[in-house]
Amino acid sequence: MIDFDAIFKIYQSKIFFYIYKSINKRELAEDLTQIVFINFSKHKENIKDNNKISSWLFKSAKNEVYQHLRKQKGIKEIPFEVELQADLNIPNNIENKELIEIIDNELEKISHEQREVFILREYSGLSYKEISELLLIDIELVKSRLYMTRQYLLKKLSKII
């Protein structure tokens, strides 16, 4: 049997962060995170493999974000932004703010697919396999997109630093 409280403690902040980075609205992200966990509590008995819980939660979060954005006119792509937030355990100093702004600007220049993989891995902490299952793409494609994004960022940052 799945222990809801334990799952909530493990995944709540990761799901919130994923949603928040997708829509960049704190209150809405909190609401959508609640919806994800309400849905999970209703459907947890249908999840036979405990190893699929993470994928189920992130897929549900992704669906909630897409559903919300579909309701807004003119939005065809999820805007993934990386911004500095003190409450997310990121040191809050001038150098880090500048670095985060640079990374944010550079991430906006790459494809949605690469940004999404990067955020799921680097900011939500999902494994390659979890990202692969969530996005329904091959694990090698996950690795490739992540590698290309990292190389792109390294190249851009090395020019600045």
The C-alpha atoms of residue 127 and residue 13 are separated, in whole angstroms, by 16
Mean pLDDT confidence for 103-132: 85
What is the Cα 14 distance to its own chain's centre?
A: 8
Beta-carbon neighbour count of residue 53 at 10 Å?
16
pLDDT digits (tens, 9 = 90+) for 18-30: 888 777 788 999 9
Torsion of CA 88, 56, 6, 65, to 10 degrees: 40
Q: How confident is the model at residue 112 (pLDDT cuts 50, 70, 90)?
A: confident
Domains of the chain with CATH codes = 1-79 (1.10.1740.10), 90-161 (1.10.10.10)
pLDDT at 148 over 90: yes
Q: How confident is the model at residue 119 (pLDDT cuts 50, 70, 90)?
A: confident
AA letter at 8: F
Q: What's the whole-number average pLDDT of the chain?
A: 80
What counts of helices (H) and strands (E) characterise the chain?
7, 0
pLDDT at residue number 49: 78
Of 8 and 119, which is predicted with more confidence? Answer: 8
Mean pLDDT confidence for 126-152: 92
pTM above 0.85, yes or no: no
